[in-house]
Amino acid sequence: GDSVTQTEGLVTLTKGLPVMLNCTYQTTYSPFLFWYVQHLNEAPKLLLKSSTDNKRTEHQGFYATLHKSSSSFHLQKSSVQLSDSALYFCALSDGPNYNVLYFGSGTKLTVEP
Amino acid sequence: EAAVTQSPRNKVAVTGGKVTLSCNQTNNHNNMYWYRQDTGHGLRLIHYSYGAGSTEKGDIPDGYKASRPSQENFSLILELATPSQTSVYFCASGDPGQGMAEQFFGPGTRLTVL
């Protein structure tokens, strides 16, 4: 069945460094991938999304590229800020009706001064 | 901006009691969802709905019922609450469209079952 794997549960970085959060997925349908961000005591919000192979999508300084050949949709940022500390979820829209999102277990990013 | 509200925001219940969590959306979205969030498990889908009168089981429906009396409202019901149902519950709404539709989440309900 459809599934999403996020390998890092916790990532801690110093402000200004680059970050990559891993996301791989499994599906037999055409993939639609999402990254959601959840700040402390807030609701998850969409950060970015893509269904186009090998095309970089960007939002708020974060970017990701869907690679169908490797079933990956890693989230990156070139220079993290303190305000980027949050929980990040990768999600896959299920096929063939795309009514449901499958979420990964999440990666908690902590940015230190 | 999408608007999904949940009530109550915090709830303490006793084991064996009945708990109803309510969700309202003003987005006119067809689909609504209930998730629970636990550390290490991310967001897990409990029930969802395609529209008024419909409810569908998600990945972890056991111990939960859902009700969608109208386009705007979607309730999650715990008939006999257990301590294992202590969690944070999120409601969301969305229209899947062609697969790229965003889900809009409510602020969450923190449920503690003693």
CB burial of residue A22 (10 Å; 0-12, 13-18, 19+): middle
pLDDT for the residue numbered B42 = 86
Report d(CA B51, CA B93) in Å as an integer: 11
* Residue whose entry in the numeric block shows the structure tokens 């998730």: B35
pLDDT in tens, B46-105: 999 999 999 999 999 999 999 999 999 999 999 999 999 999 999 999 987 655 678 999
Chain A: give the shortest CA distance to residue B4, in Å: 10
pLDDT for the residue numbered B77 = 98
For residues B110 and B98, the model is more confident at B110
pLDDT for the residue numbered A1 = 77
Long-range contacts of B39-43 (CB under 8 A, 24+ apart): B40/A9, B40/A105, B41/A105, B42/A6, B42/A89, B42/A103, B42/A104, B42/A105, B42/A106, B43/A44, B43/A89, B43/A103, B43/A106, B43/B90
pLDDT for the residue numbered A96 = 67
CB–CB of B64/B57 below 8 Å?
A: no
Q: Look up residue A82 and give its amino acid.
A: L
Three-state secondary-structure class, residue B83: helix
Chain B: give the shortest CA distance to residue A74, in Å: 17
Which of A42, A97, A103 comes nearest B43 by C-beta? A103
Confidence class for position B41, pLDDT limits 50, 70, 90: confident
pLDDT for the residue numbered B70 = 97
> pLDDT tens digits for chain A (113 residues)?
788 999 999 999 999 999 999 999 999 888 899 999 999 989 999 999 999 999 999 999 999 999 999 999 999 999 999 999 999 999 998 766 677 889 999 999 999 99
